[in-house]
Chains A and B, each alone.
Chain A
Amino acid sequence: DAKTTQPPSMDCAEGRAANLPCNHSTISGNEYVYWYRQIHSQGPQYIIHGLKNNETNEMASLIITEDRKSSTLILPHATLRDTAVYYCIVRVRGGSNYKLTFGKGTLLTVNP
């Protein structure tokens, strides 16, 4: 699976949009971008995934560049409860083994 690079930490004001970047310059054509987050003392939680089109769900939006070498996770109106470590993961979709390779992620701190 392709390696990803994320900033170690970011800050965001409550109510503002949080934009979390991820670089995955070695991504292959059949690899998807997945985002998970981990709130302190909890297990990781799935947020969203995409291949090449932008995606949106009730939690977030995912913007993938045209060359697919980077992506941005957008939390449109961050709340204090969004403070967590956010992981960007690239992996092939298909088959049955959805083993994920986590990096260190980005610690997002939402400030009041």
Chain B
Amino acid sequence: GAGVSQTPSNKVTEKGKYVELRCDPISGHTALYWYRQSLGQGPEFLIYFQGTGAADDSGLPNDRFFAVRPEGSVSTLKIQRTERGDSAVYLCASSPGTSLNTGELFFGEGSRLTVL
């Protein structure tokens, strides 16, 4: 498809388990963002990639959260030792390189994570 694709759309796991969430950005977009959205709140920034490197990871809540983008396209958000408080919708967004950037981010539909 032409948009940002996120999988799985829903993930239910048990406390303490490891989880991976995948984001496939729009082809050619060099910038990729992860956000987290809890019920009734706006999306909260987690991490930003420019190409393969994490240029800003200031939003990651703790060292249980990690994200990679090894080839500058698909990204994986990894959560270790999940806690009930990690339950949220995890949103991915992408945008073009700087020469084309108007400030518009293109969001996927999110991965809903439920930790029991």
Contact = CB atoms under 8 A, between A and B. Distances in A.
Interface residues of B, number: 30
Nearest to A85: B42
Interface in B33-59: 33, 35, 40-45, 48, 50, 55-56, 59
A101 B45 contact: yes
Interface residues of A, number: 24
What is the interface of chain A mostly: helix, strand, loop, or mixed? loop
Contacts of B50: 96-97
A96 B48 CA distance: 10
A98 B109 contact: no
Interface string A41-85: 111111001000000000000000000000000000000000001
B48 A45 contact: no
B42 A87 contact: yes
Contacts of B107: 43-45
Contacts of B109: 41-43
A100 to B, nearest CB: 7
B95 A104 contact: no
B25 interface: no
B12 interface: no
A99 B43 contact: no
Contacts of B59: 99
Nearest to A49: B103
Nearest to B43: A102
A93 B43 CA distance: 20
A46 B107 CA distance: 9
A112 interface: no
B27 to A, nearest CB: 18
A103 interface: yes
B102 A44 contact: no
Contacts of B45: 99-101
Contacts of B4: 43
Interface of A: 32, 34, 41-46, 49, 85, 87, 91, 93, 95-105
What are the 7 closest A-B residue pairs judged by CB atoms, nearest first? Answer: A43-B107, A102-B42, A46-B104, A96-B98, A102-B43, A44-B107, A99-B45
